[in-house]
Amino acid sequence: MSDAGELDALLQEDRRFRPPATFVDQANINDRDIYESAASDPEGYWSKWAAELDWFEPWQRVLKWSPPHAEWFIGGRINVSYNCLDRHVEAGRGDRTALIWEGEPGDARTFTYAELHREVSRFANVLRSLGIKKGDRVTIYLPMIPEAAIAMLACTRIGAIHSVVFGGFSPDSLADRNNDAESKLLITADGGWRRGSVVPLKANADAALEQSPTVQNVVVVARGGDLTEQTAVTMKMGRDHWYHDLVAEVSSSCPAVSMDSEDTLFILYTSGTTGKPKGVVHTTGGYLTQAYATTKAVFDLKDDDVYWCTADVGWITGHSYIVYGPLANCAQVVMYEGAPDTPDRGRFWQLCEKYGVTIFYTAPTAIRAFMRWGDEWPKKYDLSRLRVLGTVGEPINPEAWMWYHEVIGGERCPIVDTWWQTETGAIMITPLPGLTETKPGTATHPFPGIEAAIRDESGEDTTAGYLAITKPWPSMLRAVWGDEQRFRETYWSKWPNVYFPGDGAKVDEDGYLWILGRVDDVLNVAGHRIGTMEVESALVDHRAVVESAVVGKAHEIKGESIAAFVTLKEGIDGSDELLTELRTHVSAKIGAIAKPELVVFTAELPKTRSGKIMRRLLRDIAEGRAIGDTTTLADPEVVKRLQAMHEDEEG
């Protein structure tokens, strides 16, 4: 969370940005009454959005709320893949571009809606031929290639539950997720490109599969091009199958199954405050309704837009705003495989120019990196077609917001700073680009139909405290996979019947909401959620480590980076080699995103009298405020002195 001083400075932000009149005139939503009408009849309001989708059978009741369990559009029958594909093809829009994909080396593929429909249907038949039935879990561990979207849509077509695992996760992380979900099938690729190197997904998958007893079959996509030529993969007879062989053998006709609105659509694992990631469960009708509605309203999506969200499909942003929201809207979607600085730092802007991107959605960490790389990169390209810019994943600092506005948006594009989470499924707090006067750094107001508040510990309204979502919403998580108790404890135990997202927030005198960051032991590193406990468990797993404590350390580009304090077993010396080994160990256990930037050996972890680790002190040390030379922590006397000095503060 930001320091109080920093926050006061933020709240004094007096720059205001009105949507340009020309934008307002053409906006999908430009009538302020929407907020009031949604608030006075939220069920009627959400029903109107839901009615823009195609249902096989209408719902009988909009909402049943038995806290903490909600059901939306009860009795309604619908299929997500049908809404993203078939209905557009049936409406005569089959020739319209659905997906514009570009690989990191510059190879490209595009799919019309009719083509994507055929591919998805074929792959759905492949899933069936491998014995996958409605309700079975399928893990998807793919790079950013079209087959990632195809596999997701194919699952939803037959009612299989997908669990997408980000390609940067390690074999151990993949195995944990396979096992928790009891996945029957894994879909992976020989590899993907990242910064000019091959990410060896099949090799990682092979290692994971040694500890994934439920997985019976593996489908392997040949990424193609030089990568497939260079990458030798081992195919295990009877278990592993090439994607291209399987799809060649099946028909391209596979009618979408009728799903109950509350059937599970997918599981997505996310970090929490224990060492074990949570399987966040989303269902069908409500999820699609809110993903669809927010894509249309928040990005002002129109037929001639070219829409690009730079997230990875391994995260919720990729699920809701690369695949389901945009395709349900019949959008033309850009998808890019690689890094923003390969082959050079102008890569994103080159893609924006090449495909005429009009809506661009990225993360503050990327914006801060672009800022540092310099204006010359975006200035080389024609970005004049851009008309809406979005940001998500962490609080955006006003300086980065202003740079985005001026250099990328040419001062004409509204910026939508969208707050939401894996658990919320879709955008919750955001400006509407044709209505909201924005201020740099604030996500402004709840989306119409969403009710948020700031509460203190006891549940009273306050101006600075915890963010709370006070009414159920269609795309809310329905469960933590296989763990009802954790679902209740994590989200519903702070206040009765009110959702606790785990973020701190403030409201300013104009009623704007400022999200301040996590208040639990979850870090936000470059927009990725990482639980301190996960990293601590990975460290303690190393033979040399007795105890560890992990805290966030302010980082110019990533927002936060990971600092680890480690106590070694007696007789083991804290050498530089061991430092490197520990960092590599965490990376191998979890994935490179969790690699600590700083590792400090300490004789003991400073603790309060009641035995709580003094995390504030550790943060001060990591950020250079508490002591000069961190190596002195190896001396038990130094730790004792620090402990005594800071005891009162930490309580």
From the CB of 2, what's the least distance to ligand PRX, in Å? 11
For residue 642, which phi and psi values (nearest 5 degrees)? -60, -45
Q: By CB under 6 A, tell whether 141 contacts ligand PRX.
A: no
Nearer to ligand PRX, 272 or 434 (CB): 272
Q: HEC string of 384-409?
A: CCCCEEEEECCCCCHHHHHHHHHHHC
Site membership for ligand PRX, residue 169 (CB under 6 A) = no
Beta strand 359-362 with 332-336: parallel, antiparallel or unpaired? unpaired
10 is an interface residue for ligand PRX by CB under 6 A:
no
* Residue 501 interacts with ligand PRX (CB under 6 A): yes or no: yes
Closest distance of CB 419 from ligand PRX, Å: 4
To the nearest 10°, report the CA torsion of 473, 476, 482, 485.
-60
By CB under 6 A, what part of segment 271-330 binds ligand PRX?
316-317
Contact residue for ligand PRX among 524, 548, 567, 602 (CB under 6 A)? 524
Buried residues in 332-345 as b, exposed as e (16+ CB within 10 A) = bbbbbbbbbbbeeb
Nearer to ligand PRX, 476 or 545 (CB): 476
Closest approach of ligand PRX to the CB of residue 272, in Å = 10
Rounded to an integer, what distance in angstroms lies between the CA atom of residue 642 and that of residue 628?
12
User: Comparing C-alpha atoms, which of 63, 58, 65, 30 is closest to residue 45?
Assistant: 63
Least Cβ distance, residue 478 to ligand PRX (angstroms): 16
Q: Which lies closer to ligand PRX via its Cβ, residue 102 or residue 394?
A: 394
Size of the site for ligand PRX (CB under 6 A): 22
Q: Is 422 an interacting residue with respect to ligand PRX (CB under 6 A)?
A: yes
Q: Which is nearer to ligand PRX, 122 or 319 (CB)?
A: 319
Question: Is residue 517 a contact point for ligand PRX (CB under 6 A)?
Answer: yes
Task: Identify the three-state secondary structure at position 356.
Answer: coil
End-to-end CA distance of the chain: 19
Q: Among 193, 419, 447, 466, which residue sits at the site for ligand PRX (rule: CB under 6 A)? A: 419
433 binds ligand PRX (CB under 6 A): no
Tell which one of 394, 521, 536, 560 touches ligand PRX (CB under 6 A). 394
* Binding range to ligand PRX, per CB under 6 A, among 125-133, 255-263, 328-336, 514-522: 514-522
Q: Are 256 and 82 in contact (CB under 8 A)?
A: yes
Instruction: Supply φ then ψ for residue 186, to 5 degrees.
Output: -120, 135
What is the DSSP secondary-structure string of 196-242? TEEE-HHHHHHHHHTT-TT--EEEEE---HHHHHH---PPPTTTEEE
Q: Does 502 bind ligand PRX (CB under 6 A)?
A: yes
Contact (Cβ atoms closer than 8 angstroms) between residue 162 and residue 155: yes
Return the structure tokens found at 532: 């301190």
395 binds ligand PRX (CB under 6 A): yes
To ligand PRX, the closest distance from the beta carbon of 425 in angstroms equals 9
Type and span of the H or E element at 479: strand 479-480
Among 121, 261, 418, 567, binds ligand PRX (CB under 6 A): 418
Question: Considering the complex, what minimum distance in angstroms separates the CB of residue 21 from ligand PRX?
Answer: 26
Backbone angles phi, psi at 626, to 5 degrees: -85, -40
When asked if residue 417 is in the footprint of ligand PRX (CB under 6 A), the reply is: yes
Closest residue to ligand PRX using C-beta atoms:
422
Residue numbers at the binding site for ligand PRX (CB under 6 A): 270, 316-317, 392-395, 417-422, 443, 501-503, 515, 517-518, 524, 529
